[in-house]
Amino acid sequence: MTEFFDVALSRRSVKVYDPEAHISQEELTELLEMAGRAPSAWNLQQWHFLIFHGKDVQEKLLPIAYNQQQIVDASAVICIMGDLQANLNVDPVFDPQVEANEMTPELKEILAGQINGAYKRPEYPRDGAILNSSLAAMQFMLAARAKGYDTCPIGGFNAASLIEEFNVPKRYLPTMLITVGTARQEGRPTDRLPIDKLVTYAK
């Protein structure tokens, strides 16, 4: 199996894809299942994936993403959406654990209290949605690279138009698009700032 460090170091943001390359729905599902293994606050899994798989629907997305050619040339596009009402996941997430004796009913109630308290704060639903869905997005890109696919995260799109065109429920906040496919042109190599410029040890 490819080493994690090799996967992480070889990942590039690819913007030129082979338009003839194909990714199956089964392969996409496998990648999304791995993305869904990302960590999340209280394990509420504050994300939802809107999939654009097929040239017709990708063409509909194209003007919303400001006519970036990669939208139609990629094998698929994933819209990562944050869940603004992930507090509604308490029962679906925790009840199976209670039934399996992996969590006590008392612990469930404690966690539910913490969650409900957080979601009463006006800033938390949006902050939590963006933070946690971004963890799933990164995990998706690494999983895709491990399977030999290339990706590019895209923040340049009209979220309001996407919501309207594709009837996105108010519960979900579009966080980013991710193109996935086979590179026709390798992503541009990039350097990083020296790590000592980015690190401060607390005292």
In this structure, the dihedral spanned by the alpha carbons of residues 98, 104, 107 and 108, taken in order and rounded to 10 degrees, is: 20
Of the candidates 12, 10, 8, 33, which has an alpha carbon nearest to the alpha carbon of residue 179?
12
pLDDT range class, residue 187, cuts 50, 70, 90: confident
DSSP letter assigned to residue 147: T
Arithmetic mean of pLDDT, 90-98: 97
Query: How far is residue 93's CA from residue 7's CA, in Å, rounded to a whole number?
Result: 31
Residue 36 exposed, middle or buried by CB count within 10 Å (0-12, 13-18, 19+): middle
- Mean per-residue pLDDT for 56-68? 98
Band of pLDDT at residue 191, cut at 50, 70 and 90: confident
**Does the pLDDT of residue 2 top 80, yes or no?**
no
Superfamily (CATH) of domain 4-185: NADH Oxidase (3.40.109.10)
Q: Each residue of 86-100: b (16+ CB within 10 Å) or e?
A: bbebbeebbeeeeee
pLDDT of residue 76: 98
State whether the Cα torsion 153-155-156-157 is positive or negative.
positive
Q: Quick: pLDDT tens for 144-178.
A: 999 999 999 999 999 999 999 999 999 999 999 99
User: What does the pLDDT look like over 95-132, one tens digit per residue?
Assistant: 999 999 999 999 999 999 999 999 999 999 999 999 99
Q: pLDDT at residue 1 above 60?
A: no
Burial 50-67 (b: 16+ CB within 10 A, else e): bebbeeeebebbbebbee
Distance between CA atoms of 89 and 125, rounded to whole angstroms? 13
Out of 127-131, 148-152, 181-185, 189-193, least confident range: 189-193
